Amino acid sequence: MITRRDFLVAASATATLLGGGVGRVAAQQRLGEADLLRFEPLGNVTLVHITDLHGQLMPLHFREPSINIGVGAAKGRVPHITGADVRAAFNLPAKSAEAHALSHEDFAELARTYGRMGGLDRIATVVKSIRAARGANMLLLDGGDTWTNSWTSLKTEGQDMVDVMNLLKPDAITGHWEFTLGEARVKAIVDKLPFPFLAQNIRESEFEDAVFPAQKMYERGGVRIAVIGQAFPFTPIANPRWMIPKWTFGIREAEMQKEVDAARAAGADLVVVLSHNGFDVDVKMAERVKGIDVILSGHTHDAVPKPMKIGKTLLVASGCHGKFVSRLDLDVQGREVKNFRYRLIPIFSDAITPDAEVTAAIAKHRAPFAADLGRVLGKSEGLLYRRGTFGGSLDDVICDAIRAERDAEISLSPGIRWGTSLLPDQAITFEDVTNATAMSYPACYRMTMSGARLKDILEDVADNIFNPDPYYQQGGDMVRTGGLGYTIDIGKPIGQRISNMTLLQSARALEASKDYVVAGWASINQGTEGPPIWDVVTKYIERKKTIAVRPADTVKISGQ
């Protein structure tokens, strides 16, 4: 078990100051690069893990959720705790650096104190520091959701992220949103990567041939390490199948067991799964697949400051958007992990010296789009954020924009978890909008749907999230709604969770047989027509000028 000191030395340096309203400069003076990088090495292997960057080259604000609901065995268990419960679980002082990084509490106030987090040039500094200290003992592994979901990554088809990440010299990557670039583009990128794209669970649909290598063997510190890739299992369901028509996915638990067994038979002393399953799916996999030493988990954006131990398997969750880098040191002897030491390193961008080589590469890729990225559209009156099981204030803005600009009674917006947070009184730029909307299927459709069809949609999405069996969960958040209120009983089975659906503008119950004008975006159907969502939101913000935050009271939750 790690100690509080092993987690974040920076806490003791800052906690005593914050009660008096410390200024940002004072906090930075106490929160130094040396504190963030301090680590007592252990053993003969170091695994460094980053995941879910979502195209973010630059430092940002990203608020952790205030609602993160787990079901079944995951109910009330890490990572499905928030705020004060996170602080209590990990003994974090209120308003400390690590409490700010890991919870939503006092987010706007503390964001002004501690500044932005992330930035690939800061991550590069951390990675290069660890590599300099550990050298041939280190592996750098990228959990995917790296190449897409910013304006520059959209316009360059992921090339900006690929080029900059290559400077960090990863040893392997797996994926999810990468596949929304389409089969041809993914293959073109992968063919030129200086490291492997690993995915044991992707097959050609006709003959079940492997599309990518399942695993690769490395030697670090005299230890033979097998890294097995696990791409997001539900990609053709959560994202457009027509973009990857020749590939099939799935959890493929039996095949994973075969890969682990094959790695052991080939002499692996350590078996690492580089996963984009999502946390709860990885927990179940760790319980059922024997012989995995470490799972590096991605997809659900969970940042957990201590590995979860499931039998003999260590499960690591490294957050998202570049807020954290995980370092896991292992003492491997006799083909077993005898000891470990871990730190979830927070990337406070003001406290870490940017790597000059990576800074220059970022600037080069952003330069052609600088005018668009910096274009100011309006101002936020309150805190705008996205992450949360049922919604966020930034999602409300998107839903309001869709209804207003597309003249709809009801709007739908996907429960995706990527997108930066904006502080009160912060200028809203085009980059902020595209950080929350940039994707390769952005059409904002307008159509009619019956009340019955709307209920079916909500029931289907709810089952993807609240099914008590993790293998039936897709790991996103609930679809966001505008102009529509409802009650959800999380504990009920599919078809029985959603009730009291109400059209908010009239306060009348939705009628199953009546048609309503509905607009939304991110449809997985090929040929969907409509303006790109970023244009819709941009026009709305430019017209409104100041964006107020409305109460989040349209969804009533029971059965928790």
Q: What is the mean pLDDT of the chain?
A: 94
Whether domain 375-558 has CATH 1.10.10.10: no
Asked whether 319 and 123 are in contact (CB, 8 A), the reply is: no
Averaged pLDDT for residues 382-389: 95
Tell how strand 138-142 and strand 215-220 pair up.
unpaired
Averaged pLDDT for residues 194-198: 98
- pLDDT, one tens digit per residue, over 410-427 is 999 999 999 999 999 999
User: In the chain, where are the structural domains located?
Assistant: 1-31+61-115, 32-60+116-364, 375-558
Task: Indicate if the pLDDT at residue 256 is higher than 50.
Answer: yes
Task: Indicate if the pLDDT at residue 385 is higher than 50.
Answer: yes
Confidence of residue 552 (pLDDT cuts 50, 70, 90): confident
Averaged pLDDT for residues 299-308: 97
Task: Indicate if the pLDDT at residue 9 is higher than 50.
Answer: no
CA distances from 431 to 111, 150, 164, 319, 438 (A): 19, 8, 19, 22, 9
Task: Indicate if the pLDDT at residue 270 is higher than 70.
Answer: yes
- pLDDT, one tens digit per residue, over 450-486 is 999 999 999 999 999 999 999 999 878 999 999 999 9
Rounded to whole angstroms, the Cα distance separating 143 from 318 reads 9
Query: 416-419 — which CB contacts under 8 Å span 24+ positions?
Result: 416/386, 416/476, 416/477, 416/522, 417/300, 417/301, 417/320, 417/386, 417/387, 417/476, 417/477, 418/52, 418/54, 418/145, 418/149, 418/301, 418/320, 418/321, 418/386, 419/386, 419/394
- pLDDT, one tens digit per residue, over 222-255 is 999 999 999 999 999 999 999 999 999 999 999 9
Averaged pLDDT for residues 430-437: 98
- pLDDT, one tens digit per residue, over 202-222 is 999 999 999 999 999 999 999
Rounded to whole angstroms, the Cα distance separating 338 from 333 reads 6
- pLDDT, one tens digit per residue, over 320-359 is 999 999 999 999 999 999 999 999 999 999 999 999 999 9
Domains 32-60+116-364 and 375-558 alike in fold: no
What is the CATH number that goes with domain 32-60+116-364?
3.60.21.10
Task: Indicate if the pLDDT at residue 499 is higher than 70.
Answer: yes
Task: Indicate if the pLDDT at residue 23 is higher than 50.
Answer: no
The angle, 0 to 180 degrees and rounded to 10, between the axes of the packed helices 356-366 and 159-166 is 170
Residue 5 confidence (pLDDT)? 36
Asked whether 264 and 178 are in contact (CB, 8 A), the reply is: no
CB atoms within 10 A of CB 400: 19
Question: Any bridge partners for residue 344, and if so which?
Answer: 326
Confidence of residue 3 (pLDDT cuts 50, 70, 90): very low
